Chain A
């Protein structure tokens, strides 16, 4: 057991150090309970989804009635255990904070062996807290949100399944195990997006999300295959040891394949189209899966595979390009959406773009990618839940044009939402300020163009978030009240929903505390490695001021364009091309339809016909020809004995002639 794992460092060119993963599997103590973090929510899911439906009569009724408590308890227990583990990890030496656990050998054959192995290190620890912590809060919130849904038990079962799968993704010590969790969260996401599957749109959105994710999975599957082919293993430990000696073309290919996987899961261009549709799911799902945790798995994948990306410059550049495009893409979409959840989803896409951007910058950016991921997890979950609270009071209307002046009707929701808002636009002092600021700073140091574009993105963020905020909570209608219909009576949500909002709001404000004394950077360094810092082109304080200025411009623009005007109840139709494009998700679906769906449908249709007419037709045609031939030949069977006798004679003569020919010839 190599306790001094981090003394083993690979050196690449420049001052870059890539740590080798070498977990200590004999840690003992509380770390032996690592598996339980996953097992608890999994057990919850099994109880709620497999056991409960088998019950009969009153037992079943009570399971339906109290199932949500089981689900929430499982998530909370997992959270408590994560906390205990975190404290235990803090208690260990900085050098030995990689703990492993071998559960069982999953499959093994010939040269290939995959174990159910867990790896608990500094990176996983943070994720565990985020997933179980925010996850628990959302469980609690959902108790209120889903109160009137007859299938609430099942909803909580799915939520637990998701948490278990996400934890598997994070805790796995090899890429195959990661893939297990990866697909597990995909499945949970599928089930939850399509939770209200009696709606066609929900069922279609669920399928779309799964299928597009599967396109990304091609990348991940091939990456796994490539790792087996090149390194003979997919253990983080084994791969990180061997990447140093691998050839660069292979590593670049590996990096690009992993990036493809990450694009699918994290809704990065070009696999972004599913995320906005995914908003068909219940709002707690959007908060948990499509904002705080699952969609950030791609970022995790890139950061976790730092030992690949550090040595694969092409792939790393690709990450940066994809991230930059996505952060603008999402932001632009967010500007034009009137559906509050879709506006937030566009924002999520954009923020994940920031994380990806940081992850593409190498060891300089990794800690900030994770930092932004955490703060984003807080404030975006906060805002999604806030949006859910608004919808709860507005009879599930999602159109912001029907809102307005809700700050009075829903004071708690408004205040907590405002905290999230200030955090995301990067208001100085709030959590988002610290994380986004550092990312843009690093980007500027790396490449001026990327940095400027990231800064522009921050400005657009200021614009669309302010627009959302204004349209929802301010901008009253002509009568001084909101623009909602006659039968709608906005009201504040119950405590069970607002308390999680308050906790998340507090976290959104205070999340920056992780950066005190560069704690998170030091904490993650053993995982992500170190690299020489490039000096940014301007002093840090100037950059910060610049960013704040750009954001302020965006906010002001929103104030002039939205806040000071009357908001109509109907979306105006005579708008500029840019607005139309943004409303249509920048034609993402249209492109998919034109490039993939349309030709695919033609291909399927063509092949189906070909199968029937071409392949089967050949066979059936052959048999038909045979049938025709025999129909002709059977005419010989005419019933006249004497003609039979004649052919008999002819045949006999033929045989005799043949014999003669052979014998004489």
Chain B
């Protein structure tokens, strides 16, 4: 049991560090997905431990949301890449004070 949770934590941390350190939007994006999946793993693991389906259902929700997010997110990244010729998240910093 604890192995699943540890794996989930490791995956989440990797994702987290990736989001914070990488500049490429696509990589950042993948790291976000990694974190989502890490939490999915935890959900499923806990569901199994508790013996009910709540965690499983939530995992499905997360997947659906993640899918929707990918669709929209990739579209945005594509558009930005087309206009700026760059996929770096630091370049897109106009939305500020």
Contacts and interface: CB of A to CB of B under 8 A. Distances in A.
A and B touch in the complex (CB under 8 A): yes
B20 A634 contact: no
12 contacts: A637-B96, A639-B93, A639-B94, A639-B95, A640-B89, A641-B90, A641-B93, A642-B23, A642-B89, A642-B90, A645-B19, A649-B16
B97 A640 contact: no
B92 interface: yes
Determine the interface band of chain A, counting residues with CB < 8 A from chain B: 10 to 19
A199 interface: no
A635 interface: yes
A664 interface: no
A646 interface: yes
B97 A649 contact: no
Given A640-B90, A641-B89, A646 B96 contact: no
B97 A646 contact: no
A638 interface: yes
A-side interface mostly: helix
A640 B92 CA distance: 8
B94 A642 contact: no
B9 to A, nearest CB: 13
Contacts of B92: 639, 641
B2 to A, nearest CB: 19
Contacts of A639: 92-96
B72 to A, nearest CB: 15
B5 to A, nearest CB: 15
Interface in B68-97: 89-90, 92-97
A642 B20 contact: yes
A425 to B, nearest CB: 90
B28 to A, nearest CB: 8
Contacts, number: 32
A423 B96 CA distance: 95
A638 B19 contact: no
B96 A642 contact: no
A640 B96 CA distance: 8
A652 to B, nearest CB: 10
Interface of B: 16, 19-21, 23, 28, 89-90, 92-97
Nearest to A631: B97
Contacts of A635: 97
Contacts of A646: 20
Nearest to B32: A645
A639 B92 CA distance: 7
A165 B90 CA distance: 85
Nearest to B22: A642
Contact of A638 (B16, B21, B89, B93): B93
A642 B92 CA distance: 11
Given A642-B89, A642-B90, A637 B97 contact: yes
A634 B89 contact: no
Given A641-B89, A642-B90, A645-B20, 20 more contacts: A634-B97, A635-B97, A637-B96, A638-B93, A638-B96, A639-B92, A639-B93, A639-B94, A639-B95, A639-B96, A640-B89, A640-B93, A641-B28, A641-B93, A642-B19, A642-B20, A642-B23, A642-B28, A646-B20, A649-B20
B19 to A, nearest CB: 5
Contacts of B28: 641-642
B97 A638 contact: yes
A645 B94 CA distance: 17
Contacts of A634: 97
B4 to A, nearest CB: 20
B90 to A, nearest CB: 6
A458 B27 CA distance: 113
| Most B C-beta atoms less than 10 A away, residue of A634, A638, A639, A646 | A639
The 6 closest A-B pairs by CB, nearest first: A639-B93, A639-B96, A634-B97, A641-B89, A637-B97, A645-B19
Contacts of B20: 642, 645-646, 649
Nearest to A646: B20
Contacts of A649: 16, 20
Interface in A527-580: none
Contacts of B16: 649
Nearest to B17: A649
Interface in A630-664: 634-635, 637-642, 645-646, 649
Interface in A595-646: 634-635, 637-642, 645-646
B18 to A, nearest CB: 10
A646 B18 CA distance: 11
A250 B36 CA distance: 87
A634 B97 CA distance: 6
Nearest to A649: B16
A646 to B, nearest CB: 6
A506 to B, nearest CB: 94
B40 to A, nearest CB: 18
Nearest to B31: A645
B77 to A, nearest CB: 12
Contacts of B97: 634-635, 637-638
A519 B94 CA distance: 104
Interface in A308-339: none
A645 B19 CA distance: 7
A637 B16 CA distance: 21
A354 to B, nearest CB: 83
B97 to A, nearest CB: 4
B85 to A, nearest CB: 18
Contacts of A641: 28, 89-90, 92-93
Nearest to B23: A642
A22 B14 CA distance: 104
B38 to A, nearest CB: 14
A653 to B, nearest CB: 10
Contacts of A640: 89-90, 93
Contacts of B94: 639
A641 B80 CA distance: 14
Nearest to B96: A639
A648 to B, nearest CB: 9
Interface string A99-115: 00000000000000000
